Structure 1
Amino acid sequence: MARDPAATRDRLVDAFAEIVVGSGARSATLEAVAAAAGVSKGGLLYHFGSKDALVDGLLERLRKLAAEDLEQMRTAPEGPAVYYVRTSATEGLQGDEVVDPLSRVIIATMRLAQEGDTRTVSAYAAINEAWRQLIEVQVGGDRVLARLVQCIGDGLWASSSMGIPTPDLDDVVARVQQLVESSRHGDGGA
């Protein structure tokens, strides 16, 4: 059976993210990542020569998933603002397990940032800015409104990622839609 190097790299990045999310970056030793991915340490080192290289692989995955999300956001029938808020509240956890691939990578990235990895902060900041810019276009260039929408989504995502339900999500989404529509008509949400 032929080996698929891309599939092995993906398994290694997945294992790294899972360990970082579940136990923290210090637990994500090369040995632990290799074992979790079902490869030898030599197999891991073939693909990722160090823990730093694993972080780079994780950030590559983050950028790829965020680019896919940005495209979905850009083409969403409800528009970027409502898409951002709605998906922030509905993606993330099922029980205690992080199931959304983008959420898993974001949480791993945040954990690495909390432990001082500045590369992760820069990568996430760039993605966060791209989301905000897309929302800002929809709200007629109102940077503050775009940021407010993003803060609503981020708060909902934080709750969702901890398993806290949002029973009033439809009302929140409707209010965000009203704000977006008001911004298009120049009445500032009044």
Structure 2
Amino acid sequence: MARPPKAREKALTAYCELLRSEGERGTTVDAVAARAEISKGGVLYHFPSKEALAEAALDAFRAACERDLVIMAEAPEGPSRHYVRTSWTSGSDLDTYYVAMLRLAQSSWQPAIDALAWVHQAWLDLIRGEVGNRHAAEAIMLIGEGLYHHSAVPGEWSRGTFARSLPKLLDQVDRLKA
């Protein structure tokens, strides 16, 4: 498959970054063009509307999730430990598109709401398949979600507190799996 043009990638990245910082209303085509350092016409050439930008972000999110689900399912440490351990990381493509979908879901865009429900269910299904107990699987997922939330909190308290605790939290995951 041919690599997408650089302007297209820059516009999509700028769109997702703006969703994170400005929300859906502040993410205009003009703002995307300015952030991507390309002309508005360049953005509109690849994405004829703001809806087309959202659809492209949705497609990228789904693709990133599908890759993540394969990695999670095949992780030597098991899906549960993998989920919790990687929940602490941010800045990946998956994180970029995940936050974009969160922001679009907050503006009631149903495709984003549906995509988030799909990936959360898929993650939970992988964990539950390994653990076997519904409530233990939910607790493991909530540990990961808590870590993800705290990784986004500004300041050092969360990073210092929970980064040091990650090995012990993974021990808790092992206890929940048992």
For normalisation by structure 1, the TM-score amounts to: 0.84
- 2:128 is the alignment partner of 1:129: no
Q: Give how far 1:7 is off.
A: 3.1
Q: Give how far 1:67 is off.
A: 1.1
Q: Which of the pair has more CA radius of gyration?
A: 1
2:148 counterpart (137, 157, 160): 157
Cα distance in structure 2, aligned partners of 1:147 and 1:175: 13
Residue type matched to 2:169 in 1?
Answer: V
1:177 counterpart (157, 174, 178): 174
Cα distance in structure 1, aligned partners of 2:8 and 2:117: 25
- Aligned to 2:25, the other structure's residue is in SS state helix
Residue type matched to 1:118 in 2?
Answer: Q
Cα distance in structure 2, aligned partners of 1:143 and 1:8: 45
Structure 2 stretches of 5 or more lacking a match? none
Cα distance in structure 1, aligned partners of 2:66 and 2:24: 25
For normalisation by structure 2, the TM-score amounts to: 0.89
1:136-147 map, 5 Å? 136-140=128-132, 142-147=133-138
- Identify the residue that residue 70 of structure 2 maps to in structure 1: 71
Q: Give how far 1:132 is off.
A: 0.8
Cα distance in structure 2, aligned partners of 1:17 and 1:118: 17
1:118 counterpart (98, 101, 110): 110
Residue type matched to 2:53 in 1?
Answer: L
Cα distance in structure 2, aligned partners of 1:152 and 1:138: 16
Q: Give how far 1:127 is off.
A: 0.8
Residue type matched to 2:62 in 1?
Answer: R
Residue type matched to 1:79 in 2?
Answer: G
Structure 1 stretches of 5 or more lacking a match? 93-98, 183-190
Residue type matched to 1:9 in 2?
Answer: R
Residue type matched to 2:67 in 1?
Answer: E
Residue type matched to 1:43 in 2?
Answer: G
Query: How many residues are matched?
Result: 170
Residue type matched to 2:143 in 1?
Answer: I
- 2:33 is the alignment partner of 1:7: no
Q: CA RMSD in A?
A: 1.4
Cα distance in structure 1, aligned partners of 2:30 and 2:103: 20
Task: Calculate percent identity across the aligned residue pairs.
Answer: 37
